[in-house]
Amino acid sequence: MDDIFLEMIDFKNKMLLDKVLEWRNDIDTRNNSINTSIITEDIFHNIIEKYKSSKYKPLIIYYGNNIDNPTENNPIGILTFIGGCNDNNDNNDNNNCFIGINIDPNYRNKQISSRALRKFINEFEIKDKIYAKIKKYNINSIKLFSKLFVFSHMDEDFMYYYYDFSNKNQVISSNGYLGL
Ligand SMILES: CC(C)(COP(=O)(O)OP(=O)(O)OC[C@H]1O[C@@H](n2cnc3c(N)ncnc32)[C@H](O)[C@@H]1OP(=O)(O)O)[C@@H](O)C(=O)NCCC(=O)NCCS
């Protein structure tokens, strides 16, 4: 039975937002983020405002068996969308829309992110190209995206992948996998 659900974030759910902030301040998450500093409540508030004005709202990954009411299940991760998918966007990396993923540290290395990302690709009717920009040494994340997204290019610090939702027949190549 399917036990992973993706549901749009409830911005009014303070306990959920606290969890998201806790996940964001996890040390591995910080090291793998562009901004590696501790995110304070104030900064987090600004991040939430950005999410709110984005074309695609964050999706919470729930884990459990309550099919009828997925949000009663356990929230264990988040998919976020920033950049060009933000209608008020202030020009971020050539206006591309960037996906981010963060899994509760207690639920990592259980293939949750692979399943959640696959679900996102298969179930969400959107038309854009969604990009992922990943630090070169973030091996888990590179493995994840090289399985499900198309490798675009790399620069000194980052690997870039994309998924074109208008072309579900695109070839997912394992280029950029760094041979791992
Ligand atoms: C990156 C992240 C989302 C991966 O989530 P996850 O659910 O733990 O990932 P999975 O269990 O699906 O594993 C992903 C791959 O990494 C591999 N992996 C896990 N631990 C590993 C390790 N220590 N060394 C090498 N590979 C490892 C898994 O085997 C899997 O590859 P496979 O499917 O080929 O076997 C999660 O670690 C996370 O939230 N990290 C912090 C935030 C972050 O870095 N986000 C990405 C930037 S957008």
Nearest partner of 11 among 67, 43, 38, 49, judged by Cα = 49
Q: Which atom of ligand 1 is nearest to the CA of 141?
A: 1
Global pTM value = 0.92
Distance 35 CA to ligand 1 centre (A): 20
CB-based contact 79:54 (threshold 8 Å): no
CA of 14 to the centre of ligand 1 (A): 27
Instruction: Give the pLDDT band of residue 139 (cuts 50, 70, 90).
Output: very high
Please list every protein residue whose CB sits less than 6 Å from any atom of ligand 1. 28-29, 32, 100-103, 108-114, 134, 138-141, 143-144
pLDDT given at position 52: 92
- Is domain 4-164 given the CATH code 3.50.90.10 in the classification? no
| 111 φψ region: left (φ > 0), alpha (ψ -120 to 50), beta (else) | left
Residue-wise pLDDT for 76-102, tens only, equals 999 999 877 765 545 455 578 999 999
* Domain parsing of the chain, residue ranges: 4-164
Q: In what order do the strands lie in the sheet with 97-103?
A: 4-8, 59-63, 74-83, 97-103, 129-135, 158-164, 150-154
- pLDDT value at 128 more than 60: yes
- pLDDT, tens digit, for every residue of 29-78? 999 999 999 999 999 999 999 999 888 999 999 999 999 999 999 999 99
